[in-house]
A and B are shown apart, each in its own frame.
Chain A
């Protein structure tokens, strides 16, 4: 058998690059800016998602800090009401769409192909398109924020020196200020300006990115699994990625359509979400309904909550077994619980609307369906606890954050069940109690899990070890700061402090807990700097991480840290769940009972079972492995080449949207009234799509390619 040679991927200059209709030359470099702009490697894309998500996490956190400075004392004038509205709007929007979702995407991208034994996702260029489209959406959303920054800072300084400057940059007046949920009719032209357009188009573009990524990951997980990896042998994080992707694919259309209708309201004069329309200075009744927005938004918005939390559950379900040295308790039930949460998640949206007066019947139905969600969620909590029970626990930093999630999420989950009770919710609606609840879920849940995942996979991703000492300091600071910040909000809410008010009276008695909350927020900020210092120090010390620092159970730990660009020299053959443990320790204790639980028999008759019969599965696996290996042997590993077209398409989309937003009457194609800039953007985008479609995925390889010619 010919020895297998692995040419450095991305470097296959044998092909004639001018072949096909490709008009932009293939990028060749493997380092430098250009290689990052054109990469289609899922690992690099994951890193870029992670870095940008973390930057936006810091920006959203900064906005939260400004909010807390304003509320630190009664009747404060640190920012004015308008700026305050802008701050909480951009804080919410940034954290949901630009920090937590892309951070989950970062893990999807980096980890899932490794866990399923693949060399990349199913559609690598589509993956790059998702990344750049996400960046485009982030730019659109934050352009006004950037433009308003100087005047905001000047205002704050002016407060100190008693001088209020009056100046704004272009777009500086267009910071969205309607809340992240964008309730109509606040967003209709009657009550708002161009800021809503920036918000609506920004979310719209982010939705395109999320949808494209979700299709990609659904196909990747269904189709790119290593031979023998049946669905019920998949790592649980891969399962949570699959279900999250299905949620995105099914939930985002509702908000996309809602935003389309909103844009028609704003740009074409319809009134889908407004009962009145202003025509020639006169209000006329139109029959539009603001509640339709709430329905469409929350049909998306509640699944969105699970889009944010299910990846977190997946990360924790990976971390806890490894640090308890026990297989995950009740794997199959965990999978069903994720699926059940996702399914039920589509039937609970009205619990965001209990005070809109839909009547007792919908309220009762949605109250019951909301309570039902507690069951699969409770199952997960129980299973995590049972996984730890009797395990030999190691409390390294990832484990600390994972256990932190289990404990903190329970608090958020319990106040969630309280909100399912309509009379209670009616009291707590729009108070800080709700703010406390969803921060316990999204910070105590998602953010804790993100840090667990960062500490867990950091050695794999960067090949460097983070300091455990600093990690533990980071965890305890986060834990203390988080509870100090958000637990008193329960008290504030029950005392009647409303959300979204920019100030409160001195005699209200609310100042005490508010100052505690603000102090806690500073502690959280400090903890993030500890993390950044940890990262910096690990980079400086450059302590190399081994391939498998935590004694992991999944395939990503079988390859070097950081992984080579082709991931796996040979595509692994999977025979068990927790494959790597079985390979390291044999099928004994670790795999005990795993295969049995799939075959459920009653009175000797098989009534359940998720896998194909064993011989058939074995045969298929062997056949696939044979094909893959034969191909490897023949030619080495050929990865698809980098490409400019995903970036070009995304830039075209960005320019198209900016053209609509700028909408200068002097810059129009005369007879059509189409903004000229948009037309240019559309042409670039379409050319990008066509170039992409007609560019071969990888350059043709000559028959001698890859044979001993590593570049």
Chain B
């Protein structure tokens, strides 16, 4: 009790859980019993849902426009489902490592926290790198922001998501740095939990985008070459291999 400070600034104060079993007095009580930092993250994520909703709505509205005008490249020409499935898998696995990171710090395991945070950031970075490679590949095949409505809505939607992942990676690395400086204690595990909420949300959004953009089949039109999907994807994987430095 003696060291308690009423901290109104919950951004870096210790938010509180009134019903907490140990009744630790360092937590200023909140009316709902939920930490304010957690609550504001939920409010932000609700809002972010509408951001992605607007973009996904735009993508759905323009789905098939390029085909209708006969201006390629078209999705079925260019998508490589196996390749993107692998990167989607990588991103989804990063949610697991995020949970492990939170679990570690909740048990007071600093080393575990750093390992799993780094693993999460690495998986996120692999996803972003994969997206960057995918974008450059698509661009080399003629799909740019301006080539047709498909290009515009595809790049803006997936790019917006990629930006989210990038910010998440920077955030995770910041947490690692904080942890190295001794800034994340077991009692203060909320800073990791809040980042985790954001990270899981970004993963969930990718499930929606991946399904809507990649998995739901497009009607093929007669124009365009329409290369067989499997052959095409092997081609892409081969080029990915050639691009790697090792």
B1 and A640 within 8 A (CB) = no
Does B141 sit within 8 A of A, measured CB to CB?
no
B47 and A696 within 8 A (CB) = no
Contact partners of B152 in chain A: CB under 8 A: 264, 270-272
A222 to B31, CA, bound (A): 7
A158 to B54, CA, bound (A): 48
Contact partners of A690 in chain B: CB under 8 A: 174
A269 and B146 within 8 A (CB) = yes
A130 to B13, CA, bound (A): 20
A700 to B28, CA, bound (A): 16
A223 and B34 within 8 A (CB) = yes
* Distance to closest chain B CB from A509 (angstroms): 45
B145 and A268 within 8 A (CB) = yes
Given that A287-B148, A289-B61, A620-B18 are known contacts, is A627 also in contact with B44, CB under 8 Å in the complex? no
A264 to B160, CA, bound (A): 12
A340 to B200, CA, bound (A): 31
A268 to B30, CA, bound (A): 46
The B39-57 residues at the A interface (CB cut-off 8 A) are 39-40, 43-44, 46-48, 50-51, 53-55
* Distance to closest chain B CB from A695 (angstroms): 8
* Distance to closest chain B CB from A164 (angstroms): 41
Nearest 3 CB-CB pairings of A with B: A697-B9, A253-B50, A287-B65
B58 and A257 within 8 A (CB) = yes
Residue of B nearest to A291 (CB): B61
B8 and A634 within 8 A (CB) = no
A270 to B156, CA, bound (A): 10
Q: Which of B11, B31, B51, B66 has a CB less than 8 Å from the CB of A256?
A: B51
Stretch at the interface among A120-128, A432-440, A602-610: A120-128
Given that A223-B36, A254-B54, A296-B54 are known contacts, is A632 also in contact with B12, CB under 8 Å in the complex? no
A468 to B38, CA, bound (A): 46
Q: What are 11 of the A-B contact pairs (CB < 8 Å)?
A: A215-B43, A222-B39, A223-B31, A223-B39, A250-B46, A256-B51, A264-B145, A287-B69, A624-B18, A630-B1, A638-B7
Given that A215-B43, A287-B62 are known contacts, is A253 also in contact with B6, CB under 8 Å in the complex? no
A286 to B149, CA, bound (A): 7
Does B211 sit within 8 A of A, measured CB to CB?
no
Does A47 sit within 8 A of B, measured CB to CB?
no
Given that A253-B54, A271-B152, A287-B69 are known contacts, is A698 also in contact with B5, CB under 8 Å in the complex? yes
The A212-228 residues at the B interface (CB cut-off 8 A) are 214-216, 218-219, 222-225
Contact partners of B109 in chain A: CB under 8 A: none
* Distance to closest chain A CB from B224 (angstroms): 16
Q: Residues of B with Cβ closer than 8 Å to A?
A: 1-13, 18, 25, 28-32, 34, 36, 39-40, 43-44, 46-48, 50-51, 53-55, 58, 61-62, 65-66, 68-69, 145-146, 148-149, 152-153, 156, 160, 174
* Distance to closest chain A CB from B30 (angstroms): 4
B29 and A623 within 8 A (CB) = yes
Given that A222-B31, A628-B6, A701-B5 are known contacts, is A696 also in contact with B69, CB under 8 Å in the complex? no
A164 to B5, CA, bound (A): 67
A637 and B53 within 8 A (CB) = no
A635 and B4 within 8 A (CB) = yes
What sequence of 0s and 1s flags, for each residue 44-56 of chain A, a beta carbon within 8 Å of any chain B beta carbon? 0000000000000
* Distance to closest chain B CB from A256 (angstroms): 7
Given that A119-B8, A634-B2, A696-B12 are known contacts, is A215 also in contact with B44, CB under 8 Å in the complex? yes
Give me 13 other A-B pairs in contact (C-beta within 8 A), A122-B36, A218-B40, A222-B30 excluded.
Answer: A40-B9, A125-B9, A251-B50, A271-B152, A287-B69, A289-B62, A292-B58, A627-B18, A631-B5, A637-B6, A693-B174, A697-B7, A701-B5
A126 to B28, CA, bound (A): 19
B6 and A632 within 8 A (CB) = yes
* Distance to closest chain A CB from B55 (angstroms): 6
Contact partners of A253 in chain B: CB under 8 A: 47-48, 50-51, 53-54
Does A260 sit within 8 A of B, measured CB to CB?
yes
A693 and B12 within 8 A (CB) = yes
Does A104 sit within 8 A of B, measured CB to CB?
no
B2 and A219 within 8 A (CB) = no
Residue of B nearest to A118 (CB): B8
B146 and A270 within 8 A (CB) = yes
Given that A122-B40, A253-B51, A697-B7 are known contacts, is A631 also in contact with B18, CB under 8 Å in the complex? no
What sequence of 0s and 1s flags, for each residue 243-258 of chain A, a beta carbon within 8 Å of any chain B beta carbon? 0000001111110111
* Distance to closest chain A CB from B177 (angstroms): 10
A216 and B40 within 8 A (CB) = yes
* Distance to closest chain B CB from A301 (angstroms): 13
The A688-708 residues at the B interface (CB cut-off 8 A) are 690, 693, 695-698, 700-701, 703
A40 to B149, CA, bound (A): 45
A272 to B146, CA, bound (A): 10
B4 and A697 within 8 A (CB) = no
A288 and B149 within 8 A (CB) = yes
Given that A223-B32, A250-B46, A620-B18 are known contacts, is A123 also in contact with B12, CB under 8 Å in the complex? no
Does A261 sit within 8 A of B, measured CB to CB?
yes
Contact partners of A271 in chain B: CB under 8 A: 146, 149, 152
A123 and B4 within 8 A (CB) = no
A467 to B246, CA, bound (A): 81
Does A285 sit within 8 A of B, measured CB to CB?
yes
A628 to B16, CA, bound (A): 12
A251 to B152, CA, bound (A): 24
* Residue among A126, A218, A286, A634 with the highest chain B CB neighbour number at 10 A: A286
A632 to B4, CA, bound (A): 9
Residue of A nearest to B30 (CB): A223
* Distance to closest chain B CB from A260 (angstroms): 7
Contact partners of A269 in chain B: CB under 8 A: 145-146
A262 to B153, CA, bound (A): 12
B6 and A277 within 8 A (CB) = no
Contact partners of B65 in chain A: CB under 8 A: 287
Contact partners of B32 in chain A: CB under 8 A: 222-223
B145 and A270 within 8 A (CB) = yes
Does A341 sit within 8 A of B, measured CB to CB?
no
A443 to B53, CA, bound (A): 33
The A652-711 residues at the B interface (CB cut-off 8 A) are 690, 693, 695-698, 700-701, 703
B28 and A124 within 8 A (CB) = no
Residue of A nearest to B4 (CB): A631
A638 to B6, CA, bound (A): 6
Does A489 sit within 8 A of B, measured CB to CB?
no
Contact partners of B5 in chain A: CB under 8 A: 631, 635, 638, 698, 700-701
A655 to B25, CA, bound (A): 43
Does A334 sit within 8 A of B, measured CB to CB?
no
Residue of A nearest to B44 (CB): A215
Contact partners of B68 in chain A: CB under 8 A: 287
Given that A218-B43, A634-B2, A640-B8 are known contacts, is A254 also in contact with B28, CB under 8 Å in the complex? no
Q: Which of A249, A292, A635 has a CB less than 8 Å from the CB of B61?
A: A292
Does A639 sit within 8 A of B, measured CB to CB?
yes
Residue of A nearest to B29 (CB): A624
Residue of A nearest to B25 (CB): A627
* Residue among B7, B9, B53 with the highest chain A CB neighbour number at 10 A: B9
* Distance to closest chain B CB from A618 (angstroms): 14
B54 and A698 within 8 A (CB) = no
* Distance to closest chain B CB from A280 (angstroms): 12
A296 to B57, CA, bound (A): 10
Does A211 sit within 8 A of B, measured CB to CB?
yes
Contact partners of B44 in chain A: CB under 8 A: 215
Contact partners of B145 in chain A: CB under 8 A: 264, 268-270
Q: Which of A119, A123, A258 has a CB less than 8 Å from the CB of B54?
A: A258
* Distance to closest chain A CB from B167 (angstroms): 11
* Residue among A219, A277, A690, A701 with the highest chain B CB neighbour number at 10 A: A219
Given that A219-B40, A637-B6 are known contacts, is A697 also in contact with B11, CB under 8 Å in the complex? yes
Contact partners of B18 in chain A: CB under 8 A: 620, 623-624, 627
Q: Which of A268, A640, A700 has a CB less than 8 Å from the CB of B146?
A: A268
Does A229 sit within 8 A of B, measured CB to CB?
yes
Residue of A nearest to B67 (CB): A287
Contact partners of B8 in chain A: CB under 8 A: 118-120, 122, 124, 639-640, 697
